[in-house]
Amino acid sequence: MHIRKAKPEDMKQVLERIRELAVFEKEPDAVVITEEDLIRDGFSEQPLFYCFVAEEENELLGIALYYYRYSTWKGKTIHLEDLIVKEDQRGKGIGFELYKAIIQKGKEEGVRRIEWAVLDWNTPAITFYENTGAKVFSDWRVAQMDENGIANFLIQNS
């Protein structure tokens, strides 16, 4: 198994891992992106995301998808959107190696923070992150507005 940067031809398997995560997070119908979306958005002149993959014999056992953000307090940061290991491959250190690749990338890029979200019921992940020195905050809440919320807001405030 080795860790490498993703290529456009990996996006079919990347999408499979993303769908697996959606099932794990109890949102099996939430994924609406396509392989074509991933190729366009990750490999254009100004990519919206980057991705490391854990590969063995042409199979992607896991992915770590990330992008850059800007903090008014810290400057350039990395947001780790998804760290996914194929269910039958968990517990073999693959997630750790992908996580390590993200942290190494952050160090190389000189970011002052790497951040991600974890569901409060995913205690194995929380324990893993805390054991690696990450702080898992309980006092911050994630806020999101979906497509319907965006449309309704704009209708109500036009």
Q: How far apart are CA 78 and CA 111, in angstroms?
A: 7
Q: Is the pLDDT assigned to residue 149 strictly greater than 90?
A: yes
- The pair of three-digit structure tokens given for residue 116, joined into one six-digit string: 């991600």
Fill in the DSSP letter of residue 154.
H
Q: What is the pLDDT of residues 110-135, one digit of tens each?
A: 999 999 999 999 999 999 999 999 99
Q: How far apart are CA 83 and CA 81, in angstroms?
A: 7
pTM, two decimal places: 0.93
Sheet holding 75-85, edge to edge: 2-5, 50-56, 59-71, 75-85, 114-115
Please say whether the beta carbons of 27 and 91 come within 8 A. no
DSSP element (H, E) containing 125: helix 123-131
**Residue 129 bears catalytic tag:** yes
Q: Is the pLDDT assigned to residue 141 strictly greater than 90?
A: no
Q: Return the pLDDT at 19.
A: 97
Among the listed residues 50, 67, 68, 129, the single catalytic one is 129
The mean predicted confidence, pLDDT, of the chain is: 96
Q: What is the pLDDT of residues 22-33, one digit of tens each?
A: 999 999 999 999
- The pair of three-digit structure tokens given for residue 142, joined into one six-digit string: 């994630």
